[in-house]
Amino acid sequence: MGKFDSIIQKMTVEEKLGQMSQLMAECFGEEDCGTLMGISYGFEVKPELAWNLGSVLGMSGAKRVKDVQKTYLEKSTHKIPLMFMHDVIHGFRTSFPSPIGMACTWEPELVEKASAVAAKEASVSGVHLTFSPMADLARDARWGRVIEGNGEDPLLNCQYSVARVKGYQGDNIRDKYRMASCVKHFAGYGAAESGRDYNTTEISDYQLKESYLPAYKAAIDAGCKMVMTAFNALNGVPCTGNKWLYEELLRGEWGFKGSVITDCTALYELIPHGYAENPAQAAKLALETGVDIEMVSTAYFNEIPKLIAEGKIDEALLDTAVERILELKEELGLFENPYKDADEEEEKRWHVCAEHRALAREIAARSMVLLKNDNHVLPIQEKEKVALVGPFATTDTMIDIWKCMAKPEECVTFFDGMKDRVELVAAEGCAMTEQEGEEALMAEAVEAAKQCDTVILALGEHPSLSAEAGSRAYLTLPENQQKLAKKILELGKKTVLVLFNGRPLELGFLNEEVDSILVAWYPGTEAGNALADVLLGDVNPSGRLSISFPYTLGQVPIYYNALPTGRPKGSDDNPERFTSRYVDAPNDAAYPFGYGLSYGEVSYGELSISNDKMTAEDTITATMEVTNLGDREVMETVQLYLRDMGGSYSRPVKMLKDYQKITLQPGEKRTITFNIDAEMLKYNTRENGYTYEEGTFRVFVGPNSSVKDYKEFVLVS
Ligand code: BGC
């Protein structure tokens, strides 16, 4: 007997399918919310869906949501409240940096705090569930959605995914200022072939288990309430109809009890995938896969009644899906209070309030990664005359495409953040993407630069070049921006490049020719203030890359935790021909995973380990002395990597296993200790499942994934 049996028994097939349908906010009439526009993204919406609908995508605003909910409850038969779901990806009204930027903090606690703020701002605006975290591991910088994820490392990906779930949901999603979270896109969406969005994926069972699945699983284990299907086909079977993925793995092996929603129109897309021949077949396949809610397309509502009438589908499948949906509504407390936290006064109180701005500023500053700082050009001295040049100098475009309800005009621009701190002139120089006749703009920028000591080049990608459907076949800055940079460099001034980007970029000549490079990603509402904090040295940069930057596109996909080859490349100076390498480019990344500088220098001593033998019951320690050689306080992220030298599978050349982000005072020396136990050595072995295998392991401790020195120990029985 399920909890909702009595209500489900009274529901008609249409009423059940209504619960299993989600329409976009745009489908609702402005005045009378019951007037559903007859079309949703090109799909027919039958009028009967109006008072049976289960959830709404992308509607928010306390007043609007309450009005729609009230009218709906008055008109619907069973008085089951609507659920309002939204893409609250990195903030609701206060925008935090893009997820890839936040992942460079190496501080999941900050991401949890930001997610709690997002939940507060969204919940007072009537949102019940966010389509976040995106736990898709990404190794291909061409893929636009690199920006929405946590980068290339499974451990960080797990930690940030969990932090988001906890931040949104708190201890109980029914609590005030909390919302439910939906992990996406299950599974393997980040492995889109050639980095082209929506493209197919081929991921071996080994890689799936080791690299791609752990973060979804971690989010689910953290209590995430919903799972979204992915657009891609995984090893030949589109995810939205992939029974192995949903029935066997998610609900079977992992025991997930929550609901599953399709990605936007992904159910219908089983047809162009060549997996279903018509909407009826698509609906049947998805239903039998265990997909509870269809987002935006309408095959469930329009096709399933006939399939049931013809005896082709068992109505009990609908009951199971509806049960799960009602369970979530109950968990959110909607049966008692269908408006939950929606409140106009609270919106005024919390949206973009000073407290939220302060956190956004702190996180934005911590997400920036300093890639280069020759001659200590940074931090900029207060007395310096600075030219701020480039398309990101004065724009309020400081947020990526997922800006949710954030308003660009509420962003602190780069210029506004800097203008009271230094003597500043600004010039756009060129547009974000090439325009006709930019010579005058460039000339103006050169003139501005001539009068100054230091030039900051504020360059980057227009936000439309990343995020969903923002895949790129080139990773360079647009030609016009490169041209502007060359003109500025000809002046021979101190030049700082600040990048606004959604992915690793190929920087080419800029790597060599500018003095300093700061990756700012899209910093969000407090962009300008955070940039000033870092560039002027109030905040010593501490971001570390969560994804590798290549020298050149031909190296992509490039990631630090690759499997070894039988012919590893030897020394760079005299490489053997018949080894795994490029004849025309290095193997290494331009800036590897884990990399980032601060103002000042931290030195690493010699690694020692407490024992060169260990049993599965033991713990050994790895110890490293780090010293702040500079005259400023620094935050250093000391990283522990391991390599398993022989296993029943070939094991990655390095894997991040732990890290400590510490603060060091000027001159301070600190001994950092990591514990290593058998749990850290486990992986998905060929025959014995998730366990460790005896043999030799290498331990590396250093400032980033390129660390070379190691010590070895042997795991014995
Ligand atoms: C995206 C999802 C998003 C959904 C709802 C889709 O196009 O792939 O990530 O949550 O739209 O807006």
User: What digits encode the pLDDT tens for the residues 123-140?
Assistant: 999 999 999 999 999 999
> How many angstroms separate the CA atoms of 586 and 551, rounded?
8
On the question of a cis peptide bond just before residue 272, with omega within 30 degrees of 0, the verdict is no
Both tokens assigned to 118:
């997002």
Query: Using CA of residue 396, residue 397, residue 400, residue 404, what is the dihedral sign?
Result: positive
- The predicted pLDDT at position 217 comes to 98
Read off the pLDDT band of 43 (50, 70, 90).
confident
**Annotation says 263 is catalytic:** yes
pLDDT over 70 at 39, yes or no: no
- 266-289: burial string, b at 16+ Cβ within 10 Å, e else: bbbbbbebebbeebbbbbbbbbeb
Does residue 87's CB lie within 6 angstroms of at least one atom of ligand 1? yes
- The predicted pLDDT at position 244 comes to 98
Strands 369-373 and 516-519: what pairing? antiparallel
β-pair partners for 180: 129
Nearest CA to ligand 1 atom 5: 264
Mutating to test ligand 1, I would choose from 131, 147, 229, 297 the residue with most ligand atoms within 8 A of its C-beta, which is 131
> How many angstroms separate the CA atoms of 574 and 596, rounded?
28
- What's the CA-to-centroid distance between 23 and ligand 1, angstroms? 13
Q: What is the mean pLDDT of residues 601-612?
A: 98
Read off the pLDDT band of 184 (50, 70, 90).
very high
Computed over every residue of the chain, the mean pLDDT equals 96
> How many angstroms separate the CA atoms of 632 and 536, rounded?
13
- What's the CA-to-centroid distance between 263 and ligand 1, angstroms? 6
Q: Structure pTM?
A: 0.98
| Percentage of the residues of the chain whose pLDDT score is greater than 70 | 98
Nearest CA to ligand 1 atom 11: 264
Does residue 131's CB lie within 6 angstroms of at least one atom of ligand 1? yes
- What's the CA-to-centroid distance between 244 and ligand 1, angstroms? 23
Catalytic residue among 87, 140, 263, 533: 263
Q: What is the mean pLDDT of residues 372-382?
A: 95
Mutating to test ligand 1, I would choose from 264, 268, 402 the residue with most ligand atoms within 8 A of its C-beta, which is 264
Q: What is the pLDDT of residues 80-123, one digit of tens each?
A: 999 999 999 999 999 999 999 999 999 999 999 999 999 999 99
> How many angstroms separate the CA atoms of 499 and 477, rounded?
10
- The predicted pLDDT at position 646 comes to 94
Q: What is the DSSP letter of 144?
A: G
Nearest CA to ligand 1 atom 8: 263
DSSP 286-340: HHHHT--BEES--HHHHHHHHHHHTTSS-THHHHHHHHHHHHHHHHTTTTT-TTT
- What's the CA-to-centroid distance between 264 and ligand 1, angstroms? 6
pLDDT over 90 at 2, yes or no: no
- The predicted pLDDT at position 31 comes to 63
Nearest CA to ligand 1 atom 2: 263
Both tokens assigned to 112:
């949890």
Helices 154-169, 108-123: inter-axial angle, 10-degree rounding: 30
> How many angstroms separate the CA atoms of 43 and 252, rounded?
33
| Percentage of the residues of the chain whose pLDDT score is greater than 90 | 93
Mutating to test ligand 1, I would choose from 185, 269, 468 the residue with most ligand atoms within 8 A of its C-beta, which is 468
- The predicted pLDDT at position 170 comes to 98
CA end-to-end span of the chain: 49
* Residue 484, helix vs strand vs coil: helix
Other beta carbons within 10 Å of 716: 11
Does residue 468's CB lie within 6 angstroms of at least one atom of ligand 1? yes
Backbone angles phi, psi at 439, to 5 degrees: -55, -45
